[in-house]
Amino acid sequence: MTASHLTSSPVYGLMAEFETPTDLVHAAKGAFEAGYRKMDTYTPYPLEEAAEAIGAHHNRVPLICLIGAILGMCGGYSLEYWVSVVNYPINVGGKPFHAWPAFIPVTFECAILGASLATVFGMLALNGLPQPYHPVFNSPNFVRASRDRFFLCIESQDPKFRLDDTRRFLQDFHPSEITEVPY
């Protein structure tokens, strides 16, 4: 095949590089106000303003934690009930088989276990981890995201994304550089 027959690789998005966090937050707010929704910011340290600027307000981890606690609690209590009442009832000192006050400590501990496991695995799933490869790693200057640069990536999956229009839009924020991020 000749070079003229080869098609260019698909684009994951456009990455704009900024020197200051203020510039990044300004660009992220502008992109969100312009209607872009599939975008992310990359910074060398946590930047709450950048997350708020791209509309990342809703967090489902507390709900996942609550569901895990309820399931752990129900599971622990059910296990104790099944063992003490159904499977292996033993009369100890004339106490009833279903002595619920004795079940409370284990039920509480199972709720804590369920909540902690659900929180860890829910957080990993919501963050898309483990993810050993991500297309933004293909951006030439992206290694500086962990040192001294701030990046805004608008993904090509965004309904409003048009390569040339989005590039012109990002140039209005005067980034250091705008690069296409291949898959």
Task: Look up the domain containing 148 and give its range.
Answer: 10-56+137-182
Cα-Cα-Cα-Cα dihedral of 34, 38, 41, 47, to 10°?
A: 80
DSSP letters spanning 129-153: -S-S--GGGGSTTGGGGGTT-EEEE
In a domain, 3, yes or no: no
Of 126, 2, 10, 107, the C-alpha closest to 64 is 126
| pLDDT tens-digit map of 68-118 | 999 999 999 999 999 999 999 998 888 899 989 999 999 999 999 999 999
In a domain, 2, yes or no: no
Average pLDDT over all residues of the chain: 92
Q: CA 98: distance to chain centroid?
A: 43
Which CATH number does the domain housing residue 141 bear? 3.30.70
Structurally, the chain folds into a number of domains equal to 2
Structure-token pair, residue 105: 């400590």
> What does each C-alpha distance from 14 to 18, 47, 49, 133 come to in angstroms?
13, 21, 21, 18
CB 12, CB 183: distance < 8 Å? yes
pLDDT for 8 equals 58
91 and 115 part of one domain? yes
84 and 97 part of one domain? yes
43 and 82 part of one domain? no
Rounded distance, CA 167 to CA 36, Å? 13
In a domain, 44, yes or no: yes
84 and 70 part of one domain? yes
In a domain, 5, yes or no: no
pLDDT for 56 equals 83
The whole-model pTM stands at 0.74
76 and 116 part of one domain? yes
